Structure 1
């Protein structure tokens, strides 16, 4: 008996009553047929998820798909605010009378300001199976700005002896108003990403695997001479120039037209492909990090069954990243970690080897970027970046939350390809600087990237046209570094790439442990062969202690001996020439 009474007390005190809450059509009636439709908020003791802001991931940059009611445009003539009425119908499904005790409407975000006043059409007493209408009167300024053109309205409703209920909806005072899209998060994002990309570009050496691709020319050398006389440099990445640019153009066009035509259906396919890329690149990136410390932490190189310890650690870390990304519904900071993995992996696997190749790679990319910008301006125009994050919120974009949300946009974002391609060029100037023993080109290219991104953000603030970043970043980077090369009288070498590139030609020159004969899989031969690099200098002690003190190795004077020998030979020839005459 006591349990039954307690259950009744809890039910009557804490449960929300069996009512139906629904919005009618916005008045005056608007033209947009897809907006302002009647919608049920609460029915059968369950709230509609599109009226519950908490149902949407808080840390995800995907725009909130909360139910919205939008005014097409405001009448600029007249005085005072314009009024728009949204009727809320409350139907009592209980078998007893209930009394509406509290109904408040506030802005969900503190920096928004659209006043809403509720107006009852009758007494707040609902008889069984009867309805009342509450008019939500929205007051809109005739001249709107970023703070009063759009708002998320939070409604709290409570009946006597029952628990209250919160629900939210969006209200837009002027659908034709385009808010200023600048937020300081844009500057933070591009500055952080520029620093990340230049750091990644300085670590272009591949550590995680050592393989050598046997080309037809190399295979012919194997047949003609001893295998130990064939020079096989470890694989250090694929070269980039115009064929790779054309391949990227083809993939981009396929993805663009497929996504614009099918949207939600294409979203699933693209997400699966991106997740596959994330798994592979994060595994490779973590393996590269562990490979960097393979000599400092020897246990990383120890084998367990068929793989090394660092391989297992890389698998675990990459799996954890993907798990957190999916389980917590795409939080922006986990997405950025996956973006860094993609950038770091691709910068190691693909390399530009000259300014000439950079031009052949960048020019087709800028052409396709301009084409895509024109296409997007004709189709989605102002909301192109919101559409991208709504349907394709993946780690292919670097993200940072806005300090002040705007309609359909929660985060600043930039495509990682707008960072990756300049990163390829930063990798090249880094290797060129190492050859010249300077930091000039890398610093100039970095500031070219940073200034280009800032210019792009500022121009996007002025105009809604979707301008590509490549016409700012890549042009500035190439022009500034080329001018420096001309001034330093190094343009021919910088343009052609004809210099000693240690990372590509002899990446493990200073790593004694890796100069020993290494087992390399010969692709094309179908066998595993011991290969010793040609002209490999074995390590020797140049100074030894003997009975009479320190003894210097004769190899130190090999160069001097050869010089003396050549001088003696020239003197003998000259003496013979004089004796002859």
Structure 2
């Protein structure tokens, strides 16, 4: 810190005088200016937004766009430090003489260290409509690190009889230095996200949708034949395998090349689409939460006009969440809540039903991830992750603020798709564990995800290259669970998915009233149609006590036949194809 107090006079202070403050060109001049940001600090009694750090959202992870001045590496010679001059021009627009009383330059962030000192003239007096030039001398070290290669400088300037103002600018001693991008916030973020994703994966059952596919012809048949035992399975998600992977690949490539080509124009359109997705998924997620407690809190299922109480509550909370996100300029914690809503909703709506389908889904995604990484490394190179948050700071990325900021990056972040796709696989191993009455596969897959994310962070710390997380997380999860399945002699059933999935195949587990199946009900909307007549004949007891003990009615054994294991597997495959609805 360098303080210059020229003289002190006790008097009444007025607002800042009518002066103009403007920076000149840094000496020596940089070769490739990064941006043509305004150089005028203060003019017409107004401070430029590009020199006001406080006007940038404090809780947003979007990088701060302060005016910056950069030095080329080739400009630093020798083994010691070197000084660089940045001139500040002060123009007096008043009709009277003004006196510069105080000029203070400090590092805005405590952990930054670039010494700066102003070089003032001997007589800091500015005549009416005259100007002076004050040189800011920056001391840059030859060997730079994260604390002395870049800083946000805070300048306080005050004139006699006037109040002072603060303004800030960025100064980069070495434009080619790549700072270490590791921060403990990375570990906190991936650990928290891994725990969240495994919790969401265990709640795969859908409550908001109740769809039983019954055609009008079948409905008439049920009524004519007075059928009561109808084998119906409610809607429990869309099927995921290679066609859905190709669809995701197409959307990703379109979004990537559109955003890189049109930039700001594409930014607005993409953000509108993402906000629309946030509205739908947050509504669905809250509806699922309230649906979980519909039996204990019965008022949630009551209808008011055309919607249920839980639908109104879901609309309220989802709207409130999006309002806070937009009104307070995208705070990172609200963004994370919206990310959780998106993850929770999509994990419930899309499901993997076998290891075979997981491979068909993951392999194309890993291929396109590798392609995008190579493309980004050749276009935006080192600062690819900073560019993503600057232009597309949306809830599609989970975020956590850095403890120590670096140039152009305030937060650690990871794409929610890097968590969502492993979440699909965690949902599958969770259902497989329920079938096997164990927790082995889920625990192994969870640690595969966590270790994969940690490896990704560490390698990113060593190499400044946009590596995709899928080659770490998805590979480790599939490899470790496959080895466990082989060791437990369960690989065939784990690979094919030919087991009785309680969530996807058991209608009683999904609360379907077979006497009154629902033809269509989404988010409380739709009509419940009684498609099966109740049997008017007298019901016989299937189990009753006779003279010689307990007697079972012969109707219990109607249609019972002995079948071998291959026939059982073929029946399970047939039931799975008929009860699970492909997307």
TM-score interval, normalised by the smaller of the two chains? 0.7 to 0.9
1:59 corresponding residue in structure 2: 59
2:552 corresponding residue in structure 1: 558
2:317 corresponds to 1:317:
yes
1:42 corresponding residue in structure 2: 42
Count of aligned pairs between the two proteins: 538
2:445 corresponding residue in structure 1: 445
Farther-moved stretch of structure 1 (67-76 vs 285-294): 67-76
Which string of whole-angstrom CA distances, capped at 9 and with x for unpartnered residues, describes residues 244-264 of structure 1? 000000000000000001111
* TM-superposed deviation, 1:221: 5.1
Q: 1:533 to 1:329 in 2, by over 3 A?
A: farther
2:308 corresponding residue in structure 1: 308
**Separation in 2, partners of 1:196, 1:553:** 59
**Separation in 2, partners of 1:553, 1:155:** 101
- Residue pairs, 1:102-181, within 5 angstroms: 102-181=102-181
* TM-superposed deviation, 1:341: 0.1
1:293 corresponding residue in structure 2: 293
Which string of whole-angstrom CA distances, capped at 9 and with x for unpartnered residues, describes residues 454-507 of structure 1? 000000000011110000000000010011011111111100101110101125
Given that 1:112 and 1:148 are in contact with CA atoms closer than 8 Å, whether structure 2 keeps it comes out as yes
Give structure 2 stretches of 5+ with no counterpart.
1-10, 561-583
Given that 1:19 and 1:90 are in contact with CA atoms closer than 8 Å, whether structure 2 keeps it comes out as yes
**Separation in 1, partners of 2:533, 2:363:** 38
2:362 corresponds to 1:368:
no
Give the match's secondary structure for 1:519. Answer: coil
2:519 corresponds to 1:520:
yes
Given that 1:21 and 1:89 are in contact with CA atoms closer than 8 Å, whether structure 2 keeps it comes out as yes
Given that 2:239 and 2:352 are in contact with CA atoms closer than 8 Å, whether structure 1 keeps it comes out as yes
Give the match's secondary structure for 1:258. Answer: helix
Q: 1:541 to 1:413 in 2, by over 3 A?
A: farther
* TM-superposed deviation, 1:73: 1.2
Which string of whole-angstrom CA distances, capped at 9 and with x for unpartnered residues, describes residues 157-199 of structure 1? 0001110100000000000000000000000000000000000
Given that 2:63 and 2:408 are in contact with CA atoms closer than 8 Å, whether structure 1 keeps it comes out as yes
Give structure 1 stretches of 5+ with no counterpart.
1-10, 545-550, 567-581
Given that 2:76 and 2:82 are in contact with CA atoms closer than 8 Å, whether structure 1 keeps it comes out as no
* TM-superposed deviation, 1:436: 0.5
2:524 corresponds to 1:530:
no
Farther-moved stretch of structure 1 (346-355 vs 35-44): 35-44
2:493 corresponds to 1:493:
yes
1:574 corresponding residue in structure 2: none
Give the match's secondary structure for 1:205. Answer: coil
Which string of whole-angstrom CA distances, capped at 9 and with x for unpartnered residues, describes residues 99-118 of structure 1? 00000100000000000000
Given that 1:99 and 1:125 are in contact with CA atoms closer than 8 Å, whether structure 2 keeps it comes out as yes
Given that 1:493 and 1:499 are in contact with CA atoms closer than 8 Å, whether structure 2 keeps it comes out as yes
**Separation in 2, partners of 1:541, 1:294:** 32
* TM-superposed deviation, 1:13: 1.5
2:456 corresponds to 1:456:
yes
**Separation in 2, partners of 1:450, 1:168:** 40
1:468 corresponding residue in structure 2: 468
1:341 corresponding residue in structure 2: 341
**Separation in 2, partners of 1:42, 1:555:** 99
**Separation in 2, partners of 1:553, 1:451:** 65
Give the match's secondary structure for 1:212. Answer: coil
**Separation in 2, partners of 1:50, 1:244:** 44
Which string of whole-angstrom CA distances, capped at 9 and with x for unpartnered residues, describes residues 300-336 of structure 1? 1111111111000000000000000000000000000
* TM-superposed deviation, 1:521: 2.6
Q: 1:540 to 1:320 in 2, by over 3 A?
A: farther
**Separation in 2, partners of 1:325, 1:197:** 22
1:8 corresponding residue in structure 2: none
- Report the structure number with the largest CA radius of gyration: 1
Q: 1:508 to 1:402 in 2, by over 3 A?
A: farther
TM-score by length of 1: 0.87
* TM-superposed deviation, 1:14: 3.5
Given that 1:100 and 1:160 are in contact with CA atoms closer than 8 Å, whether structure 2 keeps it comes out as yes
* TM-superposed deviation, 1:37: 6.8
**Separation in 2, partners of 1:463, 1:381:** 12
Given that 1:35 and 1:69 are in contact with CA atoms closer than 8 Å, whether structure 2 keeps it comes out as no
Given that 1:233 and 1:533 are in contact with CA atoms closer than 8 Å, whether structure 2 keeps it comes out as no
Q: 1:44 to 1:495 in 2, by over 3 A?
A: same
Given that 1:121 and 1:135 are in contact with CA atoms closer than 8 Å, whether structure 2 keeps it comes out as no
**Separation in 2, partners of 1:560, 1:477:** 49
TM-score by length of 2: 0.87
**Separation in 2, partners of 1:133, 1:440:** 71
| Higher RCO, Cα 8 Å, sep 6+ | 2
1:575 corresponding residue in structure 2: none
**Separation in 2, partners of 1:38, 1:406:** 22
Give the match's secondary structure for 1:13. Answer: coil
1:205 corresponding residue in structure 2: 205
- Residue pairs, 1:371-450, within 5 angstroms: 371-450=371-450
* TM-superposed deviation, 1:515: 5.5
Q: 1:241 to 1:555 in 2, by over 3 A?
A: farther
Which string of whole-angstrom CA distances, capped at 9 and with x for unpartnered residues, describes residues 498-536 of structure 1? 11101011254374x85552332399xx997424699xx
**Separation in 1, partners of 2:480, 2:184:** 27
